Structure 1
Amino acid sequence: MKSLRKIKHNEVMEVGARVWVPVSIAETRVSRRFDCIPSGTLHPNADEIDYLRRLVKYKDYAILVLNKPPKLPVKGSLPVHNSMDALAAAALSYDYDEGPKLVHRLDRESSGLLLLGRTKESISHLHWLFNDINPAKSSCKAWNDACDAKFQRFWALVIGTPKENEGLIRSPLSKILLDDGKTERVILAQNVGLEPSQEAVTEYRVLGPMINGCSWVELRPLTSRKHQLRVHCAEALGTPIVGDYKYGWFVHRKWKQMPRVDIEPRTGKPYKLRRPEGLDVQKGSVLSKVPLLHLHCRELVLPNIAKFLPLLSNNAETLSPGLSGKPDLLRFVASMPKHMKISWNLMSSYLV
C-alpha cells in the first residue's frame, strides 16, 4: 500500500485516485440530515456544531430557544445558504430525525432570543401564537391567559433620544421597491392609498439619560412586521438605531461619535493610559468607525407549549395530573453580544 501524501493545489486527479479526508464522529451523526440543507450550504464541522449548541438556552420536546449572534441570517435564500434554519437542521436536531423549524424571525444584523419548534404540533401552535391576526380562542382558559401574556422585549441603542420617555407607536408600514428594481425598503405608510400597508404597533421606554448623543431604549413590538423596530425608531421617533445604515444613514453622517479611547475588555471602562491593544475590543461598538447594529432581543415570555400541547391535541378541558405542576409561562433573558456589551459598559461608566 502506498503511503499517504498531501495533495498539491495544482495537482490533477487521475482516474481511480482516492482522497482521504478527516471526518469527526460528530459529523457522521448529522450526515443523514444533510439532504435537507439547501444546495451550497457548507456542512458544519464538529467545532461549528459545538458552537451552535452552545447558543441553545433551553430545550424540551416541543421547543428550542437560542441566543442568535449578529450577522447570522435566520432564513436562507439565494445567494444566502448558511442561515439559522439550514444550520439548525444539521446541528440542532439532537435525537430527532428532523431539525427544528423557525416560527418567527430576527433581522440578520440583530441578535437575541430566537424560538424554534421541534414537532409538527408545536410548530403549528407557535405559528398560531405569533400570528398578528387575532385567532380564535381555545376552550382552555389557562392557555388563553398564557397566550395573552406572551411578549418580546428588545434593547436598542439609538442616536438622540425620544421626546417622550415612554409611549406607544402606531405607525402602519408599507414596502416599496427602489429605483434599481431589486432593493426592497420598508417605510411609514402615508395613508394615501397608493400602496398596501400593514398595522404596526410598538411600545417603547427610555432606559436612561442621553450620553454622548445616544440613548438606550426598550422596545416591545405588539405586531410582527419586517424591520418594524428599525423603521419606528428611525422615522416615527426620529432616533435611528446605532449601526442601522439602511434607515439612519443621514443621521449617522452627522453623528459625533465618542472619542476613540482604549477600554478594559471585561468592564468596558476607559484606560487611564492609551494602549494599542485596546483597539481590538472596540470593534462594532460605539467606539468603532462603523458600529454594528445595536438591536438585541433580550427577553422572551411565551406559553409553556410542552405543558399545553397534550391538552390542545386531545381537545381536553383539563390537564393531566402529571402536567398540572409545570409553569404556564416560560421566561428567557439573553445576554447582549460583545459589541453591545462594550457600548453598554462604556456608557455606564460615564454615569459613575
Structure 2
Amino acid sequence: MSGVQKVVVAAGEGDQRLDRWLRRRFPQVTQGAVEKMCRKGDLRVDGGRVKASTRVEEGQEVRVPPLAQGQAPAAPRREKVAEADAEMIRSCVIYRDDHLLALNKPPGLASQGGSGQGDRHIDGMGDALRFDADEQPRLVHRLDRDTSGILVMARNRMTAAALSDAFRDRETRKIYWAAVAGVPHPRMGTVRYGLVKAGGAGSEKMRAIHPDEVGEVKGAKNATTDYAVLEALGGRAAWCALVPVTGRTHQLRAHMAELGHPIVGDGKYGGSGQENMGDGWGAQLGGEISRKLHLHARSLQLTHPITGARLHLTAPLPDHMVQTWAMLGWDAGDVPVDPFLDED
C-alpha cells in the first residue's frame, strides 16, 4: 500500500502503550484514528494485530498506514520541562533508590496525557526525574487527575516490568483516605458492585451494576472495595479508609456514591449539593470546607522488585485535606495504619 511506513521503536521508547508511542511520533493523529486503525488491522506490530493499549518494546517494527498530510515520523524527542515544573515535581519525591521512586502526586495534576488531560502531566515531566539515571522513569500505575497521593515510577525497564506485574497481580496493598458525606453503615464493609462505562465515547464516568447483573451488562466488570470508617462527625461526614481490591476506573468514587456516601468534593458522582435526599448525600459539606476532591492515596506496601525488601510508603495529605481535617477535628495520629488488619 502506497504511503505505508515501517517504524522501529527506538531505544528509550519501549514499555509504553502503542497509542501514546504513535501520537508522540505523529502528533497530528487523534486517539480515535489510532483505535480505528487497530480495529481495521491497518496498524500492526511485528506483523501482528494489536490494540491501542498494546505495549511496544524497543526494536519492534510498527506498520503505520498512510496518515494525514503524509507526515513522516518525528524523531524521538526528549521532553523539555519548564524549570518551575521541574522544581515542583522533584519536591514531590518521597522515596528514591537506584531502581524506583515514589511521588506524592498533587491534586489537579494528571498522571499521563490523553483526552482532556492537556500537555502538563507527570509522564511529560519525566526528564526532571532522571536524577543520575540514563533514562526517564516509567509510570507503572496511575491516579486520577484530582486524586492525590502515592504514585510509583520505575527507573529502568526491568523494574518497570516487575512492578507492573506486582500491581496487575495485586501483590501491593494500597490504602486511600477519603472524607465522605454522611456515615456509612455498617462502619466496616465491602462493596461489590460491578462497573461499566456510562455515556458516549471517551466518557470517564462509570455506572454501578448490581453484582448479580454484571454478567448481563455488556462491558461491565466486577469491582470490589473494602471500606472502614475511622472517625465520624455526627451523622454528617466520615473519614474513611478505602482499599481497592480491584483497580477499575473511578472505582472508589463510584462505589462510595453507590452507597449513598459520595466522596466530599466529587461533583461527578455526588453532585454539587449538600442535602440528604433520602437515598444519599450530596458531595459538598458547605461552609469553609474545600470543594476539591477529598481522596488521597495515603499508603502503599509492596515488595521491592530488586532487593526483596518490604517497602511501606506513606504520603502526607494535600493542603485542602489538611485544612478539612483540622476543621473537623480529625488527627492522623488517632487511627491505625491499617484498620483492616488491626481488627479482630
With the shorter chain as reference, the TM-score category is 0.5 to 0.7
Structure 1 position 184, deviation (Å):
3.7
Other-structure match for 1:44: 81
Cα 1:51–1:182, aligned 2, differ >3 Å: closer, same or farther?
Answer: closer
Structure 1 position 256, deviation (Å):
9.8
Other-structure match for 1:40: none
Cα 1:334–1:171, aligned 2, differ >3 Å: closer, same or farther?
Answer: same
Structure 2 spans left out of the alignment, 5+ residues: 1-74, 277-281, 332-344
Say if 2:324 is the partner of 1:343.
Answer: yes
Q: Secondary structure at the match of 1:99?
A: coil
Could you tell me which of 189, 197, 200 is aligned with 2:220? 197
Other-structure match for 2:121: 83
Could you tell me which of 97, 108, 127 is aligned with 2:134? 97
Q: Which has the higher contact order (CA 8 A, sep 6+)?
A: 1
Deviations 1:212-261 (A, max 9, x none): 711110101111111000011001x210001101110165466596674x
Structure 1 position 162, deviation (Å):
0.5
Paired with 2:226 and 2:133, the residues of 1 have a C-alpha distance of 38
Cα 1:256–1:119, aligned 2, differ >3 Å: closer, same or farther?
Answer: closer
Other-structure match for 2:157: 120
| Correspondences of 1:208-287 after superposition (within 5 Å) | 208-211=231-234, 213-235=236-258, 237-249=259-271, 252=274, 255=282, 260=287, 286=289
Query: How many equivalent residue pairs?
Result: 248
> Which one has a bigger Cα radius of gyration?
1
Structure 1 position 185, deviation (Å):
2.0
Structure 1 spans left out of the alignment, 5+ residues: 1-32, 38-42, 135-146, 261-281, 309-327
Structure 1 position 107, deviation (Å):
0.6
Could you tell me which of 148, 154, 165 is aligned with 2:176? 154
Other-structure match for 1:177: 199
Other-structure match for 1:332: 313
Give, as a single letter, the amino acid of the residue that structure 2 aligns with 1:196. G
Structure 1 position 211, deviation (Å):
4.1
Q: Secondary structure at the match of 1:123?
A: helix
Could you tell me which of 47, 58, 63 is aligned with 2:100? 63
Deviations 1:38-85 (A, max 9, x none): xxxxx4333331221111011111111010000000111255211111
Name which of structure 1's ranges 211-220 and 49-58 shifts more when overlaid on structure 2.
Answer: 211-220
Paired with 2:193 and 2:206, the residues of 1 have a C-alpha distance of 12
Structure 1 position 306, deviation (Å):
2.8
Cα 1:293–1:257, aligned 2, differ >3 Å: closer, same or farther?
Answer: closer
Paired with 2:129 and 2:222, the residues of 1 have a C-alpha distance of 34
Paired with 1:256 and 1:122, the residues of 2 have a C-alpha distance of 39
Give, as a single letter, the amino acid of the residue that structure 2 aligns with 1:164. P
Whether the 8 Å contact between 1:55 and 1:67 is mirrored in structure 2 is yes
Give, as a single letter, the amino acid of the residue that structure 2 aligns with 1:125. A
Identity %: 34
Whether the 8 Å contact between 2:265 and 2:283 is mirrored in structure 1 is no
Give, as a single letter, the amino acid of the residue that structure 1 aligns with 2:178. A
Whether the 8 Å contact between 1:212 and 1:257 is mirrored in structure 2 is no
Cα 1:91–1:345, aligned 2, differ >3 Å: closer, same or farther?
Answer: same
Structure 1 position 335, deviation (Å):
0.6
RMSD: 2.5
Paired with 1:258 and 1:230, the residues of 2 have a C-alpha distance of 16
